Structure 1
Amino acid sequence: MSFSAQYTFSNYRSLGSTHHRATGSDCSPALPASAGARGSGSRIFVSHSTSVQGDWGSRNMGTRMARGLVGVGGIQGEKETMQDLNDRLASYLERVKSLEADNRKLECKIREHLEKKRPQVRDWGHYLKTIEDLRAQIFASSVDNACLTADDFRVKYETELAMRQSVESDIHRLHKVIDDTSVTWLQLEPEIEALKEELLFMKKNHEEEVKGLQNQTANSGLTVELDAPKPQDLSKIMVDIRAQYDKLAQKNREELGKYWSQQTEDSTTVVTSQTAEIGAAEMTLTELRRTVQSLEIDLDSMRNLKASLENSLREVEAHYAMQMKQLNGVLLHLESELAQI
């Protein structure tokens, strides 16, 4: 851009004073102004610096600078001066464009940085629902396990209780049988003694009768003769009768001995078997008592386990509640930061 300056020499002082004011102002450092002789070959280098605010500011500055030029040394000096000013103006414009491009780049980078740094708002609703579902599942599983365990122990307890009652009834029945056997034994003892005494008495009477008959036969001196057939020998008959009676008595003794031996053996066998059954029942009862005690111990342990599980469940719920509280605090903090941004 070139301007034709048609100023008189008298305007040089006004240009000098303008340049003087420009160099003394608060703007950017001014270019040095050199003046030669006030003749036709003199040059003036004047730079008026001002704040650059866009393209229009630069153009106004160039216009003011161009208007302030004073041609002193002729057309050639004015052309060179204007060319120099034009070059400087072009460099200023390029610098302004470069600064504007840098400003746009910096603004883009700042925007990108803010976008990256901006906190992301997360929706914790599905996490809360998942936590509630898990908590409900844990509680339901704990309750179901406790109920199943309690049902199992209740069934075991009822079974063992029924078995115990059955064994106790068997023991009571066996005690009754033993009592009946003892009573029967006490009742048979006097009968056995009476039969023994009766047997001795019968033996004694038999011996006395035999001796009496023998004495009568020996002391008898009568002889009776009849034309009848010869009677049988009385002693032989008595011997036969005695033998038969002895055989019968021996048979009765043997039968009675066998009977009472069998009764005694049967009673002894019954008593022995009942004693063995009582011992077995007592052992079974002892085992059942031990089983009941072990089941009671297991029941107490399961109750303690249930209590510990309930405590653990409460601790887990408290832990999750604390975590939820912390997460809510973090969420509120992030929302506040986001609102501030």
Structure 2
Amino acid sequence: MSTSSACFMSSSSLRGYGGGCGGILAASDGLLAGNEKLTMQNLNDRLASYLDKVRALEAANGKLEVKICDWYQKQGPGLSRDYSHYYKTIQDLQDQILGATIESSRIVLQIDNSRLAADDFRTKFETEQVLRMSMEADINGLRRVLDELTLVRTDLEMQIEGLKEELAYPKKNHEEELSVLRGQVGGQVSVEVDSAPGTDLAKILSDMRSQYEVMAEQNWKDAEA
């Protein structure tokens, strides 16, 4: 192998190394599409660091290539040595860079999956929160209805008590008048008077109580529902 051929092969190997790394980075960029700005910035910084390492290795290989070429020129064209072990070192470095890039892509996928899971939990939480607020509003409305029904019930009970008192007073007067009339006639004269039947307050009160109980039961069932 001559000096010029050795230098040409080393440059080709470096160009192949750089091209392979560029392809890996392009594939990694494809995997990173759609992430948030902070994650993208972090990954871009990592990729930039990897590129800097690659450039540093290329520069070191270029210096090594120059030294090899200089040595060949000094030793003469007849002397040749085996530098295959350098290619193995370069290949190992390429494998390490490829493994680091694959690991970075795997971490990016895990971050993306975690973000999707967090968004799902956030959506569920917001839905449950809206449902809870709606139920609390309904409960508060039913409490107001229950308070109104309680006031209505109290008012009806007071009206019933008032009607009872009004009924007791005419009844008492009627009994007193009957007693006076019986005392005057001595129980010997029977007087029949045709008159229109009076208002049955007891029946009216009973009807009002029945209507109130039906209405209260229906409102209570509506409140429970």
TM bucket by the smaller chain?
A: 0.5 to 0.7
Structure 1: runs of 5 or more not aligned? 1-188
Per-residue CA deviation, residues 186-230 of structure 1 (Å, 9 max, x unaligned), is xxx997476335413322322322321342243231359xxxx95
Does 2:160 align with 1:309?
Answer: yes
Correspondence for 1:272 among 123, 131, 147: 123
The offset of 1:287, in angstroms, is 1.1
Correspondence for 2:63 among 213, 216, 222: 216
The offset of 1:240, in angstroms, is 3.2
Does 2:122 align with 1:293?
Answer: no
Correspondence for 2:42 among 180, 188, 195: 195
Structure 2 CA distance for partners of 1:190 and 1:319, relative to 1, 3 Å = farther
Does 2:95 align with 1:248?
Answer: no
Question: Given residue 53 of structure 2, which amino acid in structure 1 is its aligned partner?
Answer: H
Structure 2: runs of 5 or more not aligned? 1-35, 76-80, 190-225
* CA distance, structure 2, for counterparts of residue 289 and residue 211 of structure 1: 73
Structure 2 CA distance for partners of 1:324 and 1:237, relative to 1, 3 Å = same
Count of residues in Structure 1 that have an aligned counterpart in Structure 2:
145
Task: Give the structure 1 partner of residue 17 of structure 2.
Answer: none
Does 2:83 align with 1:234?
Answer: no
* CA distance, structure 2, for counterparts of residue 214 and residue 319 of structure 1: 124
Structure 2 CA distance for partners of 1:211 and 1:323, relative to 1, 3 Å = farther
Q: Which has the larger radius of gyration?
A: 1
The offset of 1:231, in angstroms, is 5.5
**Greater RCO (CA < 8 Å, at least 6 residues apart):** 2
Structure 2 CA distance for partners of 1:323 and 1:240, relative to 1, 3 Å = same
Structure 2 CA distance for partners of 1:230 and 1:296, relative to 1, 3 Å = same
Across the aligned residues of Structure 1 and Structure 2, the Cα RMSD in angstroms comes to 3.1
Structure 2 CA distance for partners of 1:217 and 1:337, relative to 1, 3 Å = same
Question: Given residue 318 of structure 1, which amino acid in structure 2 is its aligned partner?
Answer: Y
Percent identity between matched residues is: 8
